[in-house]
Amino acid sequence: MKQVIVVTGASSGFGALAARALADAGHTVYASMRETTGRNAVHVKAVQEFATTHKADLRAIDLDVASQESVDSAVRKIVEENGRLDVIVHNAGHMVFGPAEAFTPEQFAELYDVNVLSTQRVNRAALPQLRKQGRGLLVWVSSSSVAGGTPPYLSPYFAAKAGMDALAVLYARELALWGIETSIIVPGAFYQGHQPLRACRRARRQTASGGVRSRTL
């Protein structure tokens, strides 16, 4: 059955790949990103080119997960264009690299806002529609770091992902009563498009060779 899907943070990385795969499978997919007429205009063009080349229903939409107004507007547009919204993929996130003590509380809070509170903004905008339908699916892109065995110097990101993971579990229990399903995806490291992860990989190689260097981004 064809689904109407929105993927947050879909300008690059997991989000872009997921949006394209889902659209290629025959679904209507909204690849959300901020600044669609600014720095992400090149990614909007890439979405349009993919849709044309693959004859897929893939659409870019301006959605800033840090702004409730932007989220509300995007979700409203999706519902107006399709009459429904079936799947939400919580993929948007932000990562920094450096020793935990180097970050200020404000910087930690910023990471929590992007990785945790952003999902709450999207849920508040979209869940009324899913409850009205009596069905839907929330997909949360978590991190293998939640299960432990994490590399050093990514503490703010890992802590935020743990918070998001806990929120997802609690939401799952509540939303099941409304016929809304939950899936939590726990991927491993993905280096393409992520400067902090590439820096972490370099630091680990340097540590193994006797030289240690860290950067705070």
DSSP state of 135: -
The catalytic position among 30, 153, 157, 171 is: 157
Reference 116, options 83, 152, 157; nearest CA is 157
Query: Alpha carbon 36 to chain centroid distance?
Result: 16
| Cβ–Cβ < 8 Å for 184, 169 | yes
Determine the Cα–Cα distance for residues 176 and 77; give it in Å rounded to an integer. Answer: 26
DSSP state of 90: E
| Cβ–Cβ < 8 Å for 96, 88 | no
Question: To the nearest 5 percent, what fractions of the chain are helix, strand and coil?
Answer: 55, 15, 35
In this structure, the number of other CB atoms found within 10 A of the CB of residue 172 comes to 16
- The question of whether 157 is a catalytic residue gets the answer yes
Reference 81, options 29, 139, 15, 23; nearest CA is 29
Q: Which residues are catalytic?
A: 157
